[in-house]
Amino acid sequence: MAKKRRPTMKDVAAHAGVSLSTVSYVVNDSGPVASDRRSRVLDAIRILNYTPNESARSLKRRSASTIGLILPELANQYFALVAEGIERAASDADVLVVLCVPQATGKSDDFYAQLLRSQRLDGVVYLSATGTLPSLILELSRSGAVVLVDEQMPGFELPAVVSDNRRGAREIAQHVIEAGHRQIALIGGPAPLWSADQRLAGYREALAAAGQDPDEVPFFGGDYRQRAGYEQAAKALEVAPADRPTALICANDLMAFGALEYCRASGIAVPSELSIVGFDDIPTASLVTPRLTTVRQPAHDLGFAAARLLFSLIDDEGEATPPMPFPTALMVRDSVAPPR
Amino acid sequence: MAKKRRPTMKDVAAHAGVSLSTVSYVVNDSGPVASDRRSRVLDAIRILNYTPNESARSLKRRSASTIGLILPELANQYFALVAEGIERAASDADVLVVLCVPQATGKSDDFYAQLLRSQRLDGVVYLSATGTLPSLILELSRSGAVVLVDEQMPGFELPAVVSDNRRGAREIAQHVIEAGHRQIALIGGPAPLWSADQRLAGYREALAAAGQDPDEVPFFGGDYRQRAGYEQAAKALEVAPADRPTALICANDLMAFGALEYCRASGIAVPSELSIVGFDDIPTASLVTPRLTTVRQPAHDLGFAAARLLFSLIDDEGEATPPMPFPTALMVRDSVAPPR
DNA sequence: TTGTAAGCGTTATCAT
DNA sequence: ATGATAACGCTTACAA
């Protein structure tokens, strides 16, 4: 039985009785071709069920029409949502998205730079949850187009798409303060991360505006993961009753969930005994009990915009201007009550 | 300023003073080469910072070292977890994973077949949440290697990795029955889907074993999405008090969440007034209140195994045997109580 | 308007 | 052990 080879342009050309270039012209609409010959070619394509070999195209065009998406984990819905936004923008542009989850795969940092340099990827959208060493990102941005999402490398001005973390943080802290809380504790994100830094700054602004000394309010460092929320909540709450905070401001929803979990485990009623707020407004936030008061980030839009920015970077090759920070929105739900 | 071209093998060869083929030999370890020349080449590679052009390789090798992952949505953590498992297997094999989310991108069905045929993808892992028309899958499996996850096309025996849905369903239904429930309602998954069918079969087995006529128990069709859970729960519960079920068996966690949401909205206490169970055990399941009793599916392992199966399909080209169904595990938590 | 031919960067066959 | 050289399937000047 004959090995069934996929048809190539040559086959199409032969079948249609035209030259190779004519076929190419009709496939790419890149040259003039008489309408009768065009339809002959189109027919041949249909009959042979021809599909261009993209490897050959990439080789010739020096571009893979593929981008990479590097993110810490998929299980965090915030990332999943950003990914969906990117997917949409990419598919609009007929670009493929390669998923890279360093944590799950244990790939070394420069593996991703290799990927970019090997021209399998035209660019990369990078999300960090750990404030990754600039070394990777730097090497990446040296090798090709990179855009960051909700992240920024202080020294080097890399293209990024961000939302207004500072303002969102300020507003939710204000909300907590307006509910009457004076004993507030903060559970922050990973120190080196820009978003963590911005959120913290926002909280402090609100605190200061309300006449509290931000340096006096207890701060606990987390890493955006649920476990950290649990552990830091424990630290924050296992203190003399008089010092015990009446409200816990968590730098993201996942950590707020962890705090909630701790409270459930140790019989602390939320929000009557303790108010808790988060950040991100992932879908689960309105599903937990009590429904979590948080700050909505337009995850989907961030992803979409990041991909667009990356594309313009890739083909304009010139600097494209990042969009303005995306607005955030305070989502008032049930996890905040006046202190008693 | 000179356009900075990436170094090619030719450059490396020139720099090392050897021939093209020698460089290829050392890069791929595919031919004999004297150790002194080998190190000269290696040095040149380092100095020039050379990385093979993967497009050229794919063209020559007729394989892209890339697979596609088609799934309905990322926001459902079950899919996200499966994706992580696939990622891991792929990265072990130095294979890239292209993310395809038809729903988010509005791509036509045969777009994916094109992708496979265009040789950008060597194979595809396919997850369905809607029991998609076989037409796509058929076309896909005609164009190349495809493996299904937790799905099976009745007529055609396609390679698949599944978990023991039927047994898991039977066990959780038993659990509900053993808690004393006699008035049970079922909220099922999308009818054409194999997993939905299996789960339903499992429920019915347990019901029958307990002496109930499965055809008598109220059944409501859902689509595995949260909204459907809400709506079908509404239908199931808005009946004469005497007919009202005391337990709701949902075919997945997301729909159970929807049911929970409905109960909260209409003041029905769970589990004291109504018991609810799900299926999948996504991370959120233990986070909601009450913590959801459900059936754990080894999502990560399913993904991993699916990718492995796909790889063996791709390079053995011969039929590889799918693994046995993966075991499920009943997760007893707080959402089931005796009827009152 | 159409066809010829020269690459794109690799790999692999075949002499040497 | 090493090096020419011919593909791989496509795009694109350049010629006709």
Place of tokens 């890279």: A100
What confidence score (pLDDT) does residue B317 get? 66
What confidence score (pLDDT) does residue A133 get? 67
Over residues A268-293, mean pLDDT? 94
**Closest CB from B74, B106, B114 relative to A84:** B74
Over residues A10-33, mean pLDDT? 95
Average pLDDT of chain A is 93
Residue A4: pLDDT band (50, 70, 90) is: low
pLDDT digit of tens for each residue in chain B (340 aa)? 444 688 999 999 999 999 999 999 999 999 899 999 999 999 999 999 999 999 999 999 999 999 999 998 898 899 999 999 999 999 999 999 999 999 888 888 788 889 999 999 999 999 988 777 678 888 888 888 999 999 988 777 889 999 999 999 999 999 999 999 999 999 999 988 999 999 999 999 999 999 999 999 999 999 998 999 999 999 999 999 999 999 999 999 999 999 999 998 899 999 999 999 999 999 989 888 899 999 999 999 999 999 999 999 998 766 778 899 999 999 999 999 999 8
B261 and B226 Cβ atoms separated by less than 8 Å? yes
Structure tokens at B245: 């079920």
What confidence score (pLDDT) does residue B59 get? 97
Structure tokens at B165: 């849905």
Cα end-to-end span (Å), chain B: 82
Provide the number of CB pairs (under 8 Å) joining chain A to chain B.
136
Fold match, A9-60 / A165-296: no
Nearest to A139 by CA among A103, A107, A115: A115
Residue from B3, B8, B54 to probe the interface with A (highest A Cβ count within 10 Å): B54
CATH 3.40.50.2300 fits A66-163+299-326, yes or no: yes
pTM of the model: 0.93
Q: How far apart are CA A260 and CA A265, in angstroms?
A: 9
Nearest to B114 by CA among B145, B149, B140, B92: B140
Instruction: Return the SS3 of B294.
Output: strand
Question: Which residue minimizes Cα–C1' distance to C9?
Answer: B56
How many Å from the CA of B10 to C1' of D5?
Answer: 14
Estimate the share of chain B in helix, then strand, then coil, as percent rounded to the nearest 5. 45, 15, 40
* pLDDT tens-digit series, residues A24-83: 999 999 989 999 999 999 999 999 999 999 999 999 999 999 999 999 889 889 999 999
Q: How far apart are CA A271 and CA A248, in angstroms?
A: 10
Specify burial of residue A30 (Cβ count, 10 A radius: 0-12, 13-18, 19+).
exposed
Question: Which residue minimizes Cα–C1' distance to C11?
Answer: B60
CATH number attached to the domain at B165-296: 3.40.50.2300
SS (H, E, C) B150-214: CCCCCCCCCCEECECHHHHHHHHHHHHHHCCCCCEEEEECCCCCHHHHHHHHHHHHHHHHCCCCH
DSSP string, A264-280: HHTT--TTTT-EEE-SB
* pLDDT tens-digit series, residues A292-317: 999 999 999 999 999 999 999 998 76
Residue from B62, B74, B81, B262 to probe the interface with A (highest A Cβ count within 10 Å): B74
The verdict on a CB contact (< 8 Å) between A54 and B118 is yes
The verdict on a CB contact (< 8 Å) between A74 and B81 is yes
Instruction: Return the SS3 of B147.
Output: strand
Q: Is the CB of A34 under 7 A from strand D?
A: no
Q: How far apart are CA A295 and CA B287, in angstroms?
A: 20
Nearest to A51 by CA among B121, B98, B115, B137: B115
CATH class of the domain at A9-60: mainly alpha
Per domain, the residue ranges of chain A are 9-60, 66-163+299-326, 165-296
| For chain A, percent of residues with pLDDT exceeding 70 | 98
How many Å from the CA of A60 to C1' of C7?
Answer: 9
Instruction: Return the SS3 of A103.
Output: helix
B-contacting residues of A 7-66, CB under 8 Å?
Answer: 49, 51-56, 58-59, 64, 66
Residue A1: pLDDT band (50, 70, 90) is: very low
Sequence-distant (≥ 6) Cβ neighbours of residue A184 within 8 angstroms: A173, A176, A177, A207, A212, A217, A245, A246, A247, A248, A249
Locate the chain A residue with the closest alpha carbon to B258. A287
Q: How far apart are CA B280 and CA B225, in angstroms?
A: 13
